[in-house]
Each structure stands twice: as C-alpha cells, then as structure tokens.
Structure 1
Amino acid sequence: MKYYICLASFVCALFSGVSFNASADGGVTANVGVTNNYLWRGITQSDKKPAVSGGLDYSHNSGFYAGVWGSNVDFGSGSDASTEVDLYAGFANKLGDISYDFGYIYYEYPDGDNVNFSEVMASISWNFVSIGISTLADSDWDSDFGDDTYYEINFSFEAIKDVELGIHIGGYEYDKGRDYQDYNISLSKGGFSFMVSHVSEDEIEDDYTVTISYTHEINL
C-alpha cells in the first residue's frame, strides 16, 4: 500500500510513503524500486522480505494527477495475496507557500480474497512540515466509509548537502481492530533511502525495523 502525502511528505522513505510524481509542468513519469522490506504505515507488507515495485504517473499543470503502482506482497500463511496494485487520482497545488493535496486511492490484491479497499486522503504542507489524513472509503469486508482513519505529521530537513532527513509520526484508529502509532526517521539521497521505524503496539511489531530502499524515476 503506497500512500502519498502531498505529498511533500515523504519525507520518510520509500515503500513507507512516497510523494506523487506530479510536476509543475505536468507530464508522465515511470518509477522502479527495490527494498529489503516493504513497509506501509510501519507494518511489513512483504513478511520482512525484499520487494520490487514499479509505477506510472501522469500529472497536468492544473494540478490533476493519476497513476498506477504495483509491488509484490506477502501477508503470511493467512492470505493468498502475492501482488498489490494501487490506482489513484487527485489534485495537488499551491496557495502561496502552502501546498495541498487531496485524492483517492484503490488498493487491489488480484489473487487475494476479500482484501481490496479504497481510501480518500488530504494533506497540507508548509516549509518543512506536512500533515495528512487518510480514511477508509470502501472495503471488501464489513468496514464502511470513515471506519478506519490514519493521521500523520512529517518533517523534512536538509541534514547535509543533498541529504534529506525525514521524521514521521503516524497513528491508525480502527473501528474494528487494534489502534497503533508508528514512527520513523530516515536519510535519503539520490533515490536511496535508509529508514529506522517502530510501532507502539508490540503485538503488531515488537522491534525496530531497518529499511533500505532505492527508487529510480524516468521522465517519459
């Protein structure tokens, strides 16, 4: 599940959250990535094993964007899902120094059973900080609109020349399920990212996770 937050926000690292590839001039970009552990909101989506991803993004100079992204996944013996495909669209733009983004994303698992779902999201950013919210729009199970909501705040700074330091704090509130918070800190440069993350709920993840990722983008 690749979530984007304006998404000046990512901030924190590939495969845990990433920004949309919209540019001021519009256009089409492609991306390919690899990571030792695909994380989404602090939780492994690949059973702590490597994952390879790829995507295609379109953006218009009006601020409209749309795209598709996919990765291998592994949810363990309780699920047959092995592939994730995300379809998304939204609108991102600026008002003075304030950037904003709102959109819709559909998470599909073609070989999974009753696990597809969708979200609506919104974020706003200024200078080095961004805040965002994503909430369930629809699901294949018995959760409805607004039942599950994720909140986050992200900070990004240039630590040293061309090296970005990212700090992320997020929290998931479930209507049916165990709430938790996730935290991470990352260093990113030239498509490479090194991230250390942790979640507050030991029954979900009981240790710190180190993630190393690389993403390459291509202008088409």
Structure 2
Amino acid sequence: MSERVIDGPGKLAGAACFCLCLFTTAAAAQDLSLYSGTALQYYTKNDDGPSKSDLNAYLELDYSGAYAGIWAEVTNWEDYNEVDLYVGYRGEAGRLSYDANYYYYIYPDVDDADYGELGLVLDYALTDTFSIGTELYTQPESGNGSAYLTAALAAGDRFGFDVSWGKNDEGFGTYAEWEIGGSYAISDEVSLGLRYYNGEAYDDYFRLELAWNTTLLTR
C-alpha cells in the first residue's frame, strides 16, 4: 500500500483543499491563531499489504498568512510512524488561493529515511461551491517530485466531494495515481470522510477517517 503524504493539515487535497479556501478566509481576519486537530484513520487491505489503522494529530500557529506546525502519526504498520515539521504561507488573490510550504518528514523507526519537500498548492474558485486546482511538490535532495490536478465540489453546508489525478516520481520511475473522496461535517469541528485511492504502482484501497479540528486561540 502506497500513499502520497497529504494527510497533514498543510497538505490537503480535494474537498479538504476546497475547505482550505474557506479556512484561509477566516484565518486572514485574525492576526494570530492557534489550531489543533486529531484523526482516526483506517485503510483497507489490498495485495500490497494488510489493513492499516493510525492516529494522527497536529498543532499549527498562524500569523497573518504565515504558519508553522507539527503533525505526528502512530500506526500499526511497522516503520510507518511519522513526524512532520512544516512552515508556509497561504493567502488569496481574488478567486485564487495559494499555499507555498516546506515539509520535513521524519521517520523515527527507519534509518536515513527523513527528507524535505517543497510544495505549492493553487486553487481557483469557479463558483461559490466548485473549484479546480493543482498541487506541485519537489524534494530538493533527491530531485523526486509529483504534480496533481484537483477538482472539488461543496454540496450544501455539510457535504464535500473531490477528485484528483497526477504523476508521482519516487526515484524508481514515474507513475500515475488518482483518488476520489467525500466528507460529511457532523458538526463545526467533527467530520467523517471516505476516500478511494488507485495507482499504477499499487493496488486500490479505501480510507475511512473520523477527524476533529478546532481553534485553540485567536488574537
């Protein structure tokens, strides 16, 4: 089972990316904000490996568009525990939202597996409920990278749907992958999501997620 790392709060795809546009609008109204959240996730079994369960959480400080945070995950898969440190800047220009960031991925149970990655996420709101975008990532040390096209639809106040397709280069060749997902906002802070992943380099699988996100501080 393989997955590009998009589960941290700064690297969001599809419906989450569309929600990010709304999130940045709210954040821009405050000079200083502190956000936090946690998620329970379950990945279905496929031919590449057994089912996977994990618990992740993040803490993020935002100041007038600039942000920094930490995201960590513990999982039942050996060697897959992870800690991400990240910084970035996000904002809007008319209907266009943007997010430029740098992530450093740490795998405490694996030797010499840590690496850094630069990212740029662009999203354009065609309407109040539908957006298209792109995500570009590059790893300076290895030269590996990926590029994706995204589309997202907000259906009412509680439902969101999205799809993405792209190419990923992890050093052993370039392969295509795509995903489609939906989310339901149980409350202002709690959401339930289901995603389907497929790619040329791995078998398809589903991910079920129960997430909680909140604002700890605004000034």
Q: TM-score normalised to the size of structure 2? A: 0.78
| Cα offsets for 1:106-148 (capped at 9, x unmatched) | 000122111000101112111101111000023xxxx3xxx10
Q: Does 1:186 align with 2:189?
A: no
8 Å Cα contact 1:6-1:124 kept in structure 2: no
Q: What is the aligned counterpart of 2:67 among 51, 59, 65? A: 65
**1:102 matched residue in structure 2:** 100
The alpha-carbon distance between structure 1 residues 5 and 110, as it changes in their structure 2 partners (threshold 3 A), is closer
**Structure 2: where are the runs of 5+ without partners?**
126-130, 186-190
Q: Take 1:58 and 1:27, find their aligned partners in 2: how far apart are those partners?
A: 6
Unmatched 5+ residue regions in structure 1?
39-43
Alignment length, in residue pairs? 193
Higher helix share goes to which structure? 2
How has the CA–CA distance of structure 1 residues 119 and 113 changed in structure 2, closer, same or farther, with 3 Å as cutoff?
Answer: same
Are residue 35 (structure 1) and residue 31 (structure 2) matched? no
3-state secondary structure, aligned to 1:181: strand
Whichever residue aligns with residue 156 of structure 1, its letter is A
Cα RMSD (Å) of the superposition? 2.8
Structure 1 contact 156–165 (Cα < 8 Å) conserved:
yes
Q: 1:47: Cα distance to partner? A: 5.3
Correspondence for 2:90: 92
Displacement of 1:158: 2.1
1:211 aligns with 2:213: no
* Mapping of residues 1-220 of structure 1, within 5 Å: 1-2=5-6, 10-12=13-15, 23-24=27-28, 25=30, 26-37=32-43, 48-61=51-64, 63-73=65-75, 81-127=79-125, 128-138=131-141, 143=142, 147-159=143-155, 161-174=157-170, 176-190=171-185, 191-199=191-199, 201=200, 204-206=201-203, 208-220=204-216
Give the Cα separation in 1 of the matches to 2:53 and 2:8.
Answer: 21
Shift in alpha-carbon separation, 1:154–1:197, aligned structure 2, 3 A:
same
Q: Structure 2 CA distance, aligned partners of 1:4 and 1:98? A: 22
Give the superposition deviation at 1:5: 8.9
Q: Point out the structure with the larger strand share.
A: 2
Does the 8 Å CA contact 2:80/2:107 hold for their aligned counterparts? yes
